[in-house]
């Protein structure tokens, strides 16, 4: 098996009083990496995004390698059911789980990194041949899907009433997603150098003086200029990236979280 390393990072956006994003990773078993973005219009989603992330990790760990035999919707149901038990035991409102969720893991059975996206966010990846690409997931009316909608009898109905589209943007294309709820992608480890997932905070980097949005190439180059992949490689790169960006008056308005894996 190739050498692998996961890491994660999250930070508060400058317009937020509290960080509602969360990220975690695990460097064993399925090399899991997860990010979540709590809805600012719901209460206690800073707690909910954490509970959702840890619930996802526990589901992946408990199911193990056989998780690739489960449908994305089944995995989502298992995660939200586990998270709901936690909020119920803590007497926290179920709406605290109004959060997007992106998760990734390695599976040795098929030697692939699998990524599931419940809601909006992004995947960035670089292949061994130096090709860099990304997939940005957006909703046309800015109402992302939350797994918590499955907890309410009318949750999906109200979400579907928005009559919106889920769009995927890459370096060279833009198209509509097949599903409004979940997207799944698999990447062959033999071809992959690194991959990371991010919440939509990656799309919220602005100049804090004139409010101009940063150029994508500039931002992505700053975020992905890893010097090495040892230890906390993502934390080191993100801290340096935002230090450099802050010098030019750029910062993330929204909370920002990122997690990923490298393969050597």
Q: Looking at the domain assignment, is residue 188 inside a domain?
A: yes
Q: Looking at the domain assignment, is residue 22 inside a domain?
A: yes
Q: What is the pLDDT of residues 105-162, one digit of tens each?
A: 999 999 999 999 999 999 999 998 878 999 999 999 999 999 999 999 899 999 999 8
- For every residue of 21-64, DSSP letters joined together read EEEEEESSTT-EEEEEEE-TTSTTHHHHHHHHHHHHHHHHHHHG
Categorize the per-residue pLDDT at 260 as very low, low, confident or very high, splitting at 50, 70 and 90.
very high
Range of the domain at 90: 4-204
Q: Looking at the domain assignment, is residue 41 inside a domain?
A: yes
Residue 81 belongs to what H/E stretch? helix 72-90
Q: What is the pLDDT of residues 66-98, one digit of tens each?
A: 999 999 999 999 999 999 999 999 999 999 999
Total of domains in the chain: 1
Residue 159 belongs to what H/E stretch? helix 155-160
The pLDDT value recorded for residue 131 is: 84
Q: Looking at the domain assignment, is residue 100 inside a domain?
A: yes
Instruction: Say if CB 196 and CB 182 are below 8 A apart.
Output: no
Q: Looking at the domain assignment, is residue 180 inside a domain?
A: yes
Q: Looking at the domain assignment, is residue 223 inside a domain?
A: no
Rounded to whole angstroms, what are the CA distances from 143 to 23, 38, 100, 177? Answer: 21, 12, 11, 15
Separation between Cα atoms, residue 114 and residue 85, nearest integer Å: 26
Separation between Cα atoms, residue 37 and residue 262, nearest integer Å: 23
Q: State both tokens at 21.
A: 């994003």
Separation between Cα atoms, residue 245 and residue 231, nearest integer Å: 23
CATH code of residue 131:
3.60.40
Half-sphere exposure of 189 (CA within 13 A, CB side): 21
Categorize the per-residue pLDDT at 2 as very low, low, confident or very high, splitting at 50, 70 and 90.
confident
Half-sphere exposure of 152 (CA within 13 A, CB side): 15
pTM for this structure? 0.96
The pLDDT value recorded for residue 153 is: 87
Phi, psi of 149 (to 5 degrees): -60, -25
Q: Looking at the domain assignment, is residue 75 inside a domain?
A: yes
Q: Looking at the domain assignment, is residue 163 inside a domain?
A: yes
Q: What is the pLDDT of residues 32-77, one digit of tens each?
A: 999 999 999 999 999 999 999 999 999 999 999 999 999 999 999 9
Q: State both tokens at 114.
A: 């699998």
Q: What is the pLDDT of residues 185-223, one digit of tens each?
A: 999 999 999 999 999 999 999 999 999 999 999 999 999
Separation between Cα atoms, residue 78 and residue 69, nearest integer Å: 14
- Beta-strand ranges (E) seen in 108-224 are 112-118, 121-127, 132-139, 166-169, 174-176, 182-188, 192-198, 205-207
């Amino acid at each position: 098996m190739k050498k692998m390393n996961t890491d994660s990072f999250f930070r508060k956006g400058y317009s937020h009083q509290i960080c509602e994003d969360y990220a975690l990773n695990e460097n064993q078993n399925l090399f899991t990496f997860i990010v979540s973005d709590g809805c600012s219009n719901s209460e206690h989603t800073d707690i909910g995004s954490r509970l959702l992330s840890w619930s996802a990790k526990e589901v992946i760990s408990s199911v193990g390698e056989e998780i690739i035999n489960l449908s994305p919707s089944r995995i989502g149901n298992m995660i939200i059911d586990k998270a709901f038990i936690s909020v119920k035991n803590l007497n926290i409102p179920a709406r605290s789980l109004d959060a997007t969720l992106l998760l990734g893991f390695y599976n040795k059975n098929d030697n692939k990194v699998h990524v599931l996206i419940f809601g909006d966010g992004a995947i960035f990846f670089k292949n061994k041949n130096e090709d860099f690409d990304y997939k940005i997931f957006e909703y046309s009316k800015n109402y992302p899907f939350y797994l918590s909608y499955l907890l309410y009898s009318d949750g999906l109905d109200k979400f579907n009433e928005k009559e919106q589209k889920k769009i995927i943007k890459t370096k060279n294309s833009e198209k509509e997603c097949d599903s409004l709820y979940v997207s799944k992608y698999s990447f062959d480890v033999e071809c992959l150098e690194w991959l990371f997932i991010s919440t939509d905070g990656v799309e919220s980097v602005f100049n804090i003086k004139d409010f101009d949005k940063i150029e994508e190439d500039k931002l992505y180059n700053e975020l992905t200029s890893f010097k090495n992949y040892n230890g906390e490689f993502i934390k080191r790169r993100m801290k340096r990236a935002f230090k450099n960006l802050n010098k030019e008056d750029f910062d993330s308005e929204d909370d920002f979280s990122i997690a990923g894996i490298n393969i050597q």
